[in-house]
Amino acid sequence: MNLAFLNLSSNNFYGDLPDCWSHLAAVVMLDFSNNAFSGKIPMTIGSLWRIETLKLRSNRFVGELPSSLKNCTRLQVIDMGDNELSGSIPKWLGVSLKNLVILILSSNHFNGSMPSQLCHLTRIQILDFSVNNISGSIPKCLNNLTNMAQKQNSSLTSTHTYNKDDYGFHSFLGDINYEDEASFIWKGRMQTYKSTLGLVKRIDLSSNRLTGEIPSEITHLVKLVSLSLSRNRLTSQITSEIGNLQSLDSLDLSRNQIDGRIPTSLARIDRLSFLDLSYNNLSGKIPTGTQLQSFDPLIMLKMLYFVNLDLKRCVLIKLSQLT
């Protein structure tokens, strides 16, 4: 009953989780990632009202997210990536779990549309719904995700501290700290971030069935470091305000049905080191701005441009500052 941390990750556990969590009210961190657990996520998981980190990544869980999770209002990290979960993305995620910083539901079978209530997640820093079956349009209210929109500096790590007075039974250990970490695909490779996690602000909605335009409101998220909307069915044009995303390191809009010109404002993003606009219907010139021209020649050599305007397809990949 006093158990606060339960980490069974990276083992070979399998089978259903028993539905008897109601006695574990002290749990703040539960990590069952990288096992072979299956079946539904038990309803009594909602009794873990103190839980802040819930990681069930890379298992074989099926069914919907249990609605009892809305009881776990202290949750900051949910990573359920790489399972076989289905159903829609619940509205209550945005209504009840306002402390969420990391929400990873990638590589599952979620469908339906993105509820606008997600915009209530003002502390969110990583929103990853990639590789699902999500349809409809991208909510316009994304500019409400203030943690991604505010210019002030954020802390480097995401640390949880447990004061011994809250957990009298731990007093022999003193205060306890742990830092969150998160793993996701970054520039084509699975990477794990911990000591710099606080700086990672990303939205990944790639490989879904999203339609409509890229909402211009997204350009308010000036702290966004990575944005991937690739492999959807997005249409219309890239807003010229995209250049406002001055923190962007990686932008992937490839494999959609976007038309029009490549906005020249893209050349203003100093930090951009990965840009993929391939497999759209873009035309016109590759923007050459101050940034694109002012690279030092050595770095320039490591940049790769590949343009094929004849096909009205344009691929622009810039790989700079490689070591």
Ligand X SMILES: *[C@@H]1O[C@H](CO)[C@@H](O)[C@H](O)[C@H]1NC(C)=O
Which CB atom, from 47 or from 125, has the smaller least distance to ligand X?
A: 47
Token pair 């731990």 is found at 170
CB of 279 to ligand X, least distance (A): 11
Q: Does 116 bind ligand X (CB under 6 A)?
A: yes
Q: Which helix (H) or strand (E) holds 92?
A: helix 92-96
Distance CA 226, CA 205 (A): 11
Closest residue to ligand X in the complex (CB): 46
CB of 215 to ligand X, least distance (A): 12
**How far are the Cα atoms of 44, 196, 288 from residue 296, in angstroms, in the given order?**
58, 27, 15
Which CB atom, from 7 or from 211, has the smaller least distance to ligand X?
A: 7
Distance CA 255, CA 228 (A): 11
Q: Please say whether the beta carbons of 14 and 35 come within 8 A.
A: yes
Which CB atom, from 16 or from 179, has the smaller least distance to ligand X?
A: 179
Among 17, 46, 203, 220, which residue sits at the site for ligand X (rule: CB under 6 A)? 46
Q: Please say whether the beta carbons of 150 and 175 come within 8 A.
A: no
Q: Does 283 bind ligand X (CB under 6 A)?
A: yes
Among 85, 119, 149, 210, which residue sits at the site for ligand X (rule: CB under 6 A)? 119
Q: Which amino acid is at 218?
A: I
CB of 109 to ligand X, least distance (A): 4
DSSP codes of every residue in 26-91: T--EEE--SSEEEEEPPGGGGG-TT--EEE--SSEEEEPPPGGGGG-TT--EEE--SSEEEEE--T
Q: Which amino acid is at 78?
A: I
Among 2, 20, 49, 174, which residue sits at the site for ligand X (rule: CB under 6 A)? 49
Q: Does 66 bind ligand X (CB under 6 A)?
A: no
Q: Does 236 bind ligand X (CB under 6 A)?
A: no
Interface size with ligand X, residues (CB under 6 A) = 27
Q: Please say whether the beta carbons of 28 and 52 come within 8 A.
A: yes
CB of 284 to ligand X, least distance (A): 9
Query: For residues 131-190, which are near ligand X according to CB under 6 A?
Result: 133, 141, 144, 178, 181
Per CB under 6 A, residues contacting ligand X are 7, 9, 29, 31, 46-47, 49, 53, 55, 68, 71, 86, 109, 111-112, 116, 119-120, 133, 141, 144, 178, 181, 259, 281, 283, 312
